[in-house]
């Protein structure tokens, strides 16, 4: 029982009394009166003070090794009993007995052995506890306690009751206890029961017990009242708690600060902050002194109610009284100050926290990082994070997310990525804000694919997308240009509420970027109907679309809306638009004097008036632009925009108006306009624009180069060559770009001689050329068949120290490969490797192809494997080249393996892939497999060509299977193909080689009209007619060949393989 009183948090301080200095001669008797004052505990350890004698006992016992500790404990028990029975509003809680470690061990041993309460009390405790776990019908406390009837005193029964762990045992034992003779109703025993019921939430039982307490005539004290209030508070019964508290106030009972703390904390947990503040005021009015916990709770509620100033005042009051605020209090006030933009207050609080030596929590650090991020003080943010690491403050996900944003703002992309990976490695990655922070960093570095990967990772972990997540996801799709996904995301965003102006601006920009102008118009109408709150950037984008599309009516309506919006009246951009649209023509001069117009706005207005063919207004705006002195660059930008959009008409119209005003666009813009005309095939317009500036003294080389390019694009290589010669005669240096264009144009049109002349001239004059120009020269001579000259160009390039590129080596490999100089081609390839150039797939496969043509299939295979080891994954073309190398040698197993590998890599076989299979099978005399391959490709929807069938025809014809060859030849027609010249030759050669004269003549007569005049076919026909004895037909055919000047092949023989076939059959 005494232990309960000592541990109760509701015990008020007792009154002090003069200590009795007389030593008791007999067993001390403690007077028990209602208003007695109690001595300080005379049995507490004196701490070595020998001036205080210990009480003597009448029945002396053997001295103990622990300095008569047993006597001290028993006397203390009597003292505590008297203290509990006579407590008043000024009772004093005695101090614990101070024991040495050895005494404490002995004390615990005595407790276990039943020496503290007595063995019968311990047995009773265990007996009652033994009922735990039994069903209600099996519980019989009378049977359990039948051996203890009359043996337990009231105090001992209270001890047994206090030591129970389950509320059912308390209920049953208390019912048995009330039947005992030694029982007397007491507020103490009821308090014990109330406390245990309150701990497990048996509120109804607690209320019934409290009513029973009142019915017994016992007057509840502040401890009983406090226990009941704490029960209500613990289980969230706030109405009952406040009602009960009102009843206590009527009794004028002053509760302890601990009870008030319990009530305040419970109300705060339920967010009843107004009630917390009200209860706090009542507590202060009653004179109850708050402690640190009280201040902490009330400050929290003041902050939650938005009473930040009052919270700071209470915080200062708390410090002035001498209470040390907890870190959580500092953290809350710092966070609140940051949210209310009281940054100085937040920083002062943090400095005070550090001055007092309190280690900040990660929440405090997160708040400060947020402050530094908002104020763009990124250096302090990183310094704070370093300080956290030095103090071993564990960073949570919020801090890592803020750090990712800070790194993103500083451009430290790799650090942001590492921080995100570290967060995931630590298992902290769970909040969508962290994912979205990383996604935004990826977006800031134009990496939409990685941003989408982060969001996909978030969705795969079942994290629901918030409104902000949809906004970021929309930005990803807009940057990537995925219209369908962007529209779906925008629809999902719209379901969360009206879309924000930024998202609308993103969608509108996407439509403009994809040139979906009609969708852009509809979207503008949609967001205006939905009453979207436009910001400055959205207004500018909408204005740009309306001006570009000439939507004057909608533009006027938008201007009226802007005029009523005071947010934009001081922005020069909008002010310029409103003034120009709402002024008279006579105000032109005054307008230029009154304000400095925004050139971007004037450029858009110029585009609007041009789109609606209002050339008068357009000329006015153009005059304003030119008159500002800064407007011509804007006109250049506008014309450049028209050029990028391919709008020749508007670009030329502005160019003509600027020329009429006595000005001229930049040479680069004029050159771009000429080049655009060339790309569009508008050669006449390009010539007119060029003619207007060609004679001007400031005409630059870029204009001439653009005109040469226009001639080349339109297939006018002679005109390009003529302009080159005219320019060379006057300026003498067209530059590497221009010369390259001319040579390329001449090469594409087959004028190799003229191209060679230009190259010769450049080399002879030692003209300064770049790598691209030399590449064009070498390629031109390669296509012209001038392989030796191509080699000389490369040597000249090398002599002048012009660095070769990978394209240079690719072209030179082709030059040497076509010249059948494989060793030189290999040397070129190795040189590229030695120079450290990054060899691409084309370089490797170019070399592989020439290895294959030279019959070096092993070297080709090794190089193909080396390419894959270098990390270059072969594509369909590369696989086809390698399969063709194997197919030429009849290595069908290797072709099959490559075919399967290509499909495994996700590539679909094309016509060339199947051609290699057919060729490999026919080379190895696998006729059925070759035919099955053709059938398989038809099933795949890939139509076979004459080349596929010709391999099979050739295979059958070469071994004398003429019947099979004829069958395959008929399949050509079934597949809807018309046999080509190669098929004709193959069939005719088969007839001739194996002596099928009549069949050969018949075949020749069938194809004679459809086949083009061919030396082999016509010579074969002559030989077949002679073999059949048809001399006249042979002579007529021979005369026809002479007339067509086709030389006769007299070495052809009929039946050259027939004799060998007969010998093989005989053998």
User: How far, in Å, CA of 797 to CA of 268, rounded?
Assistant: 84
Q: For residue 319, what are its two tokens?
A: 């410090």
Mean predicted confidence (pLDDT) in 999-1016: 86
Q: For residue 263, what are its two tokens?
A: 């009530």
Residue 722 has a pLDDT of 79
The torsion angles phi and psi of 252, rounded to 5 degrees, stand at 60, 40
User: How far, in Å, CA of 186 to CA of 194, rounded?
Assistant: 13
Q: Characterize 492-501 residue by residue with b for buried, 16 or more Cβ atoms within 10 angstroms of its Cβ, and e for exposed.
A: ebeeeeebbb
Mean predicted confidence (pLDDT) in 861-872: 88
User: How far, in Å, CA of 688 to CA of 700, rounded?
Assistant: 17
Q: Where are the domains of the chain?
A: 1-116, 945-1066
CB proximity list for 846: less than 8 A, separation 6 or greater: 810, 813, 814, 817
Contact between residue 983 and residue 1010 where contact means Cβ atoms under 8 Å apart: no
Q: State percent of the chain over pLDDT 70.
A: 86
Q: Chain-wide mean pLDDT for the chain?
A: 80
Mean predicted confidence (pLDDT) in 347-363: 83
**pLDDT above 50 for 52:** no
User: How far, in Å, CA of 125 to CA of 146, rounded?
Assistant: 14
> Would you put residue 993 in left (φ > 0), alpha (ψ -120 to 50) or beta?
alpha
**pLDDT above 70 for 194:** yes
**pLDDT above 70 for 600:** yes
User: How far, in Å, CA of 157 to CA of 178, rounded?
Assistant: 10
- Model-level pTM? 0.50
Task: Compute CA distances 776 → 717, 808, 811, 876, whole Å.
Answer: 16, 9, 10, 27
Q: For residue 702, what are its two tokens?
A: 């870029």
**pLDDT above 50 for 1030:** yes
pLDDT tens, 750-774? 888 888 888 888 888 888 888 888 8
Would you tell me the crossing angle of helices 631-644 and 599-611 to the nearest 10 degrees?
50
Residue 756 has a pLDDT of 85
The answer to which of 107-111, 677-681, 696-700 has the lowest mean pLDDT is 696-700
Sign of CA dihedral 733, 738, 744, 746: negative
Residue 900: count of CB within 10 angstroms of its CB: 11
Full 3-state SS string of 127-187: HHHCCCCCCHHHCCHHHHCHHHCCCCCHHHHHHHHHCCCCHHHHHHHHHHHCCCCCCCCCH
Sign of CA dihedral 814, 820, 826, 828: negative
CA angle 347, 351, 355 (to 5 degrees): 170
Mean predicted confidence (pLDDT) in 158-166: 88
Fold annotation for 945-1066: 1.25.40
CB proximity list for 342: less than 8 A, separation 6 or greater: 308
For residues 900 and 25, the model is more confident at 900
For residues 780 and 250, the model is more confident at 780
Full 3-state SS string of 893-928: HHHHHHHHHHHHCCCCCCHHHHHHHHHHHHHCCCHH
In this prediction, residue 630 has a pLDDT band, given cuts at 50, 70 and 90, of low
Residue 25 has a pLDDT of 41
For residues 634 and 123, the model is more confident at 123
In this prediction, residue 672 has a pLDDT band, given cuts at 50, 70 and 90, of confident
User: How far, in Å, CA of 930 to CA of 924, rounded?
Assistant: 10
Q: Which of 983, 990, 955 is nearest to 969 (CA)?
A: 983
User: How far, in Å, CA of 400 to CA of 365, rounded?
Assistant: 11
In this prediction, residue 697 has a pLDDT band, given cuts at 50, 70 and 90, of low
Sign of CA dihedral 779, 782, 786, 789: positive
pLDDT tens, 488-506? 999 999 888 888 889 999 9
CB proximity list for 824: less than 8 A, separation 6 or greater: 816
In this prediction, residue 843 has a pLDDT band, given cuts at 50, 70 and 90, of confident
User: How far, in Å, CA of 974 to CA of 953, rounded?
Assistant: 15
Mean predicted confidence (pLDDT) in 526-537: 85
Chain centroid to CA 904: 30
Mean predicted confidence (pLDDT) in 953-965: 88
**pLDDT above 60 for 45:** no
CA angle 715, 719, 722 (to 5 degrees): 145
Residue 476 has a pLDDT of 92
User: How far, in Å, CA of 442 to CA of 448, rounded?
Assistant: 6
Task: Give 46-87 as a DSSP string.
Answer: -TT-TTSPPPP-SS--PPPTTSSHHHHHHHHHHHHHHHHHT-
The answer to which of 4-8, 20-24, 374-378, 834-838 has the lowest mean pLDDT is 4-8
3 state SS of 16? strand
Q: Which of 343, 302, 311, 350 is nearest to 327 (CA)?
A: 350
Residue 28 has a pLDDT of 42
């Amino acid at each position: 029982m005494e232990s309960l009183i000592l541990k109760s948090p509701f015990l008020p301080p007792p009154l002090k009394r003069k200590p009795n200095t007389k030593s008791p001669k007999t067993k001390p008797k403690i007077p028990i009166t209602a208003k007695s004052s109690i001595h300080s505990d005379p049995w507490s350890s004196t701490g070595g003070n020998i001036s205080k004698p210990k009480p003597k006992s009448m029945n002396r016992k053997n001295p103990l090794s622990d300095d008569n500790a047993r006597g001290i404990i028993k006397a203390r028990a009597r003292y505590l009993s008297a203290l509990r029975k006579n407590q008043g509003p000024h009772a004093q809680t005695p101090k614990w007995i101070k024991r040495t470690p050895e005494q404490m061990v002995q004390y615990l041993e005595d407790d276990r052995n039943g020496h503290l309460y007595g063995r019968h009390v311990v047995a009773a405790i265990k007996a009652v506890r033994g009922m735990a776990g039994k069903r209600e019908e099996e519980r019989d406390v009378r049977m359990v306690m039948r051996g203890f009837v009359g043996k337990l005193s009231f105090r001992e029964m209270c001890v047994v009751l206090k030591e129970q762990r389950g509320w059912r045992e308390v209920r049953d034992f208390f019912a048995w206890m009330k039947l005992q003779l030694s029982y007397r109703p007491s507020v103490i025993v009821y308090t014990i029961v109330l406390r245990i019921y309150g701990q497990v939430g048996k509120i109804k039982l607690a209320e019934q017990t409290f009513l029973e307490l009142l019915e017994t005539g016992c007057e509840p004290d502040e401890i009983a009242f406090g226990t009941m209030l704490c029960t209500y508070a613990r289980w969230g019964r706030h109405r009952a708690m406040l009602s009960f508290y009102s009843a206590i106030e009527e009794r004028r009972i002053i509760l302890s600060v601990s009870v008030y703390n319990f009530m305040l904390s419970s109300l705060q947990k339920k967010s009843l902050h107004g009630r917390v503040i009200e209860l706090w005021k009542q507590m202060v009015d009653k004179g109850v002194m708050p402690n640190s916990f009280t201040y902490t709770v009330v400050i929290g509620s003041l902050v939650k109610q938005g009473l930040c100033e009052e919270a700071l005042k209470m915080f200062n009051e708390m410090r002035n009284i001498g209470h040390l605020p907890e870190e959580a209090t500092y953290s809350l006030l710092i966070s609140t100050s940051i949210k209310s933009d009281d940054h100085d207050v937040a920083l002062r609080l943090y400095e005070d926290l550090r001055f007092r030596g309190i280690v900040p929590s990660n929440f405090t650090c997160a708040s400060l990082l947020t402050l530094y991020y908002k104020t763009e003080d990124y250096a302090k943010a990183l310094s704070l994070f370093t300080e956290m690491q030095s103090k071993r403050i564990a960073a949570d996900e919020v801090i890592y997310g803020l750090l990712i944003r800070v790194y993103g703002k500083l451009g430290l992309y790799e650090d942001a990525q590492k921080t995100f990976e570290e967060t995931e490695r630590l298992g902290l990655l769970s909040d969508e804000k962290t994912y979205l922070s990383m996604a935004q960093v990826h977006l800031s570095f134009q990496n939409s694919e990685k941003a989408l990967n982060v969001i996909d990772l978030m969705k795969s972990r079942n994290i629901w997308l918030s409104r902000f997540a949809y906004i970021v996801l929309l930005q990803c799709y807009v940057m990537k240009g995925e219209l369908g996904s962007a529209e779906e995301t925008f629809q999902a965003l719209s379901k969360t509420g009206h879309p924000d102006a930024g998202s609308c601006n993103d969608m509108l920009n996407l439509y403009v970027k994809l040139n979906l102008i009609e969708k852009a118009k509809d979207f503008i109408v949609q967001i205006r109907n939905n009453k979207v709150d436009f910001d400055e950037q959205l207004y500018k984008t909408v204005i740009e679309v309306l001006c570009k599309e000439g939507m004057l009516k909608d533009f006027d309506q938008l201007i009226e809306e802007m005029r009523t919006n005071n947010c934009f009246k001081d922005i020069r951009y909008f002010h310029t638009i409103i003034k120009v649209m709402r002024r008279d023509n006579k105000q032109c001069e005054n307008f230029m004097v009154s304000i400095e117009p925004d050139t971007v706005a004037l450029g858009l207005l110029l585009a609007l008036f041009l789109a609606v063919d209002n050339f008068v207004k357009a000329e006015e705006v153009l005059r304003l632009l030119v008159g500002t002195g800064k407007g011509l660059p804007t006109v250049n930008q506008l014309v450049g925009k028209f050029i990028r959009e391919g709008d020749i008409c508007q670009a030329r119209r502005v160019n003509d108006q600027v020329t009429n005003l006595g000005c001229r666009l930049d040479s680069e813009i004029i050159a771009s306009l000429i080049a655009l005309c060339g790309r569009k095939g508008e050669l006449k317009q390009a010539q007119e624009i060029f003619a207007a500036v060609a004679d001007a003294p400031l005409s630059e080389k870029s204009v001439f180069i653009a005109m040469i390019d226009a001639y080349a694009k339109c297939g006018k290589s002679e005109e390009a060559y003529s302009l080159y010669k005219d320019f060379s005669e006057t300026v003498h240096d067209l530059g590497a770009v221009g010369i390259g264009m001319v040579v390329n144009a001449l090469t594409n049109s087959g004028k190799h001689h003229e191209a060679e002349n230009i190259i010769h001239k450049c080399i002879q004059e030692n003209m300064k050329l770049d790598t691209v120009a030399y590449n064009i020269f070498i390629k031109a001579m390669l296509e012209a068949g001038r392989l030796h000259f191509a080699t000389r160009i490369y040597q000249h390039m090398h002599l002048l120290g012009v660095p070769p590129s990978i394209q240079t080596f690719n072209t030179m490999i082709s030059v040497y490969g076509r010249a059948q100089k494989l060793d030189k081609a290999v040397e070129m390839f190795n040189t590229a490797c030695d120079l450290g150039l990054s060899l691409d797939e084309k370089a490797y496969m170019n070399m592989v192809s020439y290895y294959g043509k030279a019959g070096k299939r092993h070297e080709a295979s090794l190089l193909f494997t080396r390419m894959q080891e270098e990390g270059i994954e072969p594509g369909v073309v590369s696989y086809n080249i390698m399969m063709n190398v194997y197919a030429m040698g009849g290595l069908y197993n290797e072709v099959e393996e490559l075919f399967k590998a290509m499909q495994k890599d996700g590539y679909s076989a094309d016509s060339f892939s199947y051609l290699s299979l057919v060729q490999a099978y026919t080379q190895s005399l696998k006729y059925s497999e070759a035919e099955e391959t053709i059938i398989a490709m038809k099933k795949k929807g890939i139509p076979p060509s004459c080349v596929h069938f010709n391999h099979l025809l050739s295979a059958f014809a070469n071994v004398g299977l003429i019947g099979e060859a004829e069958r395959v030849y008929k399949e050509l027609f079934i597949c809807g193909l018309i046999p080509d010249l190669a098929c004709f030759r193959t069939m005719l050669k088969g007839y001739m080689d194996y002596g099928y004269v009549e069949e050969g003549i018949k075949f020749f007569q069938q194809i004679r009209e459809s086949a083009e005049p061919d030396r082999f076919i016509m010579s074969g026909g002559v030989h077949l007619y002679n073999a059949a004895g048809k001399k006249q037909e042979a002579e007529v055919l021979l005369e026809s060949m002479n007339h067509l000047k086709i030389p006769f092949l007299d070495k052809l023989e009929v039946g050259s393989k027939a004799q060998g076939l007969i010998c093989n059959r005989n053998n």
